[in-house]
Amino acid sequence: MPPEIKPGRVRLVGAGPGAADLLTVRALRAIEGAQALLYDALISDDVLALAPATCLKIQTGKRAGRASMAQSTINRLMLRLARRGLEVVRLKGGDPSIFGRVGEEQDFLHGYGIETEVVPGVTAASAAAAQFGFPLTHRGEARRVVLTTARLEAGALQTDWSAAADPEATLAIYMGGAEAAELASRLIAAGRPADTPVAIVERASAPDAVLTRTSLHTLAAGAPESSGGPVLIVVGDVAAQAGARVLAEVAVTQRAARTG
């Protein structure tokens, strides 16, 4: 009889917002040691290229508003690969513990005795704030950060509007591009001032990331066009600072070039 195969391990790894140089060292080592890689559709080619050439790579989809592999199928696939003794990496955009279903996947795998490890990653709100020079919390403006999604149930937006309308909270809305105008209207109706600053960041951390600065009132009248990349909407007084430092640095550089 063939010897019993020792089950492999599944690492639930955060790939960050897209840029390969924002991976943690632990995430990099996990990808480099992967024998099977199950990755979301938004994972960049640069990150995927870090996996060994012999690694089995399977795209699972998982992109808002688009067809993707069912979660139950992903669960069974991770289990099957781990039972073959493989080192499995489930690679997710951002941080796996923020809208990444990491709890569901851990519970499923633990139920079959499969060892797991969670490797955190940089989430899109942090990446957008760093790239465009604004804080998520700021003395006198924002004491809290609320991370939420534009979740639809039975065709209606499901959000804790009392928390979202907190004037001392920065609201970071993931996957909200398609519902941006309705979100803005709901926030105004819940008591957030219509002139509250809004920063919309598409493809956070990418070299071609796009920043749009607006207000809840303007956004409620119609969302700006998107090229189809992942969209993060940041609502709150801190959003007024988005891009300001970047523009100031560009102006300084341009003045230096003219006088140099």
Helix (H/G/I), strand (E/B), else coil: 156: strand
Judge whether 95 counts as a catalytic residue.
Answer: no
Helix H or strand E encompassing 58: strand 56-61
Active site residue 62: yes
- The secondary structure of 195-248 as a DSSP string is T-EEEEEESTTSTT-EEEEEEHHHHHH-PPP--SS-EEEEESGGGGGTTHHHHH
Three-state DSSP at 171 gives strand
Report d(CA 184, CA 180) in Å as an integer.
6
Catalytic site residue from 21, 40, 46, 166: 40
- Identify the active-site residue in 92, 95, 166, 175: 175
Residues 6+ apart with CB under 8 A from 20: 44, 46, 47, 50
6 catalytic per annotation = no
Q: Are 84 and 4 in contact (CB under 8 A)?
A: no
**Identified catalytic residue from 62, 92, 95, 166:** 62
Catalytic residues: 40, 62, 175
